[in-house]
Amino acid sequence: MPDVTSLGTALARARSWVRAHPLASDGVLAAAVLACMVLGSFADKHAGPGGPTFGTRTPDALNVLFMVLGAAALVFRRRAPMPVLLCTGGLTLLDLFTGHPPAPVVFSAVIALYTVGAHTDRPTTWRVGLATMAVLTAVAMLLSPDPWYAQQNLSIFAWTGMASAAGDAVRSRRGFIDAIRERAERAERTREEEARRRVAEERLRIARDLHDVVAHHIALVNVQAGVASHIMDKRPDQAKEALAHVREASRSALNELRATVGLLRQSGDPAAPTEPAPGLAHIDGLLDTFRNAGLPVEFAANGTGGPESGLPAAVDLAAYRIIQEALTNVRKHAGQAAKAEVSVVRVGATIEITVLDDGKGTGEPADGGGHGLIGMRERVTALGGTLTAGPRYGGGFRTQAILPVMNRTGENA
């Protein structure tokens, strides 16, 4: 096993070296081809009955020059495949015209033709391959002293044809592997992008929940603390009541924050939150917190809310959070004498949540850093609904959200 591992490591290193030094590797190949051509030029297939023999034939100086030039051209075969093929093919034709008996310069043309097939497209490979095979074979058959069907003539036909086919096969395999690698990389990128998108959506949802919880309860705590501080000396009983509301609001804020932050726990962490998500079934408790803070709130509904209403959980939670944020904005910006009206009406396949107030404003400039309306709009848009918010004619503010309850197939969304 260690020997096999060592051999695989050596092959991998050799492959990496070849890719990093293409000119040097082609030089080594050219030297090997030249050695084969020179060795083949000393063989004579007619010398003995047992097959080719060596030493009875010697190439002349012109044949050696053709072989050296053909091998030298192969050094640049990957940089310029077509010019190298033209050079080696021309040298082969010159050898066929002048060499008797011919030297095996055609080996260099075979290597060049394989390179063309491996580095160009299929139509070019077959056009150039057929042209090279036809020209070299025809010239060899016409100029050969042997019959046209002699082995050396047919070998030119076979070797050039196999070179074209082998080059095309290598190019196709390389393209297939590249396509598989590209699809794998694209799939990996898609998985990563999908994971990032889901993380961003979850982060945005948790941020909205945290904003709704913190903005609502901290606003109530701020109001009640201000009231307690104002009446502490003159009416201590009412101040104690206000501080009790502060304590209740802070406890509620801590509980909701604990439930929201619990969503970030790992699946194996202990003490996972088990409280149900708030919805319209808990609207009375929400409204009471605002009434206790000094904001008169009137509520009207046509039977929506709660498990019996059939509202999807996402719509139920969104309706609750929209009312919570809208009333928080009323308490913060509408003024001390403001009154609010909340209505939840189911109309066909939608539910309409409307929050009105008649406040004149606190007279203080807005800080511009809030995200309440942005969070409400994101909640509504995520469910496929619409949100409108703006000043009312004659004073006050109006917030209305229309949420779809049914999907296109008529089932609960």
pLDDT in tens, 270-306: 454 455 567 888 888 888 888 887 788 899 888 555 4
More reliable by pLDDT, 356 or 226: 356
Which pLDDT score is estimated for 309? 57
Cα distances (Å, whole numbers) of residue 263 to 199, 208, 312, 320:
13, 13, 20, 19
Terminal CA-CA length for the chain = 60
What's the pLDDT at 410?
46
Q: What is the pLDDT of residues 157-192, one digit of tens each?
A: 888 889 889 988 988 988 888 889 888 888 888 888
Contacts of 377 (CB under 8 A, 6+ apart): 387
Residue 26 pLDDT exceeds 60: yes
- Which segments of 21-150 does DSSP mark as H helices, in order? 22-41, 61-73, 81-98, 106-119, 122-143
Q: Shortest CA distance to 205 belongs to which of 314, 344, 329? A: 314
Nearest to residue 400, comparing CAs of 352, 341, 349, 329?
Answer: 352
The yes-or-no verdict on residue 344 having pLDDT over 50 is yes
Percent of the chain with pLDDT over 70: 68
Residues 6+ apart with CB under 8 A from 25: 17, 18
Share of the chain above pLDDT 90, in %: 9
pLDDT higher for 200 or 78?
78
Length of the chain: 413
**Mean pLDDT in residue range 332-351:** 85
Q: Is the dihedral of CA 359, 376, 319, 217 positive or negative?
A: negative
pLDDT value of residue 373: 79
Average pLDDT over residues 296-321: 76
391, exposed or middle or buried, with CB in 10 Å at 0-12, 13-18, 19+?
exposed
Beta bridge partners of 347: 350
| pTM score above 0.95 | no
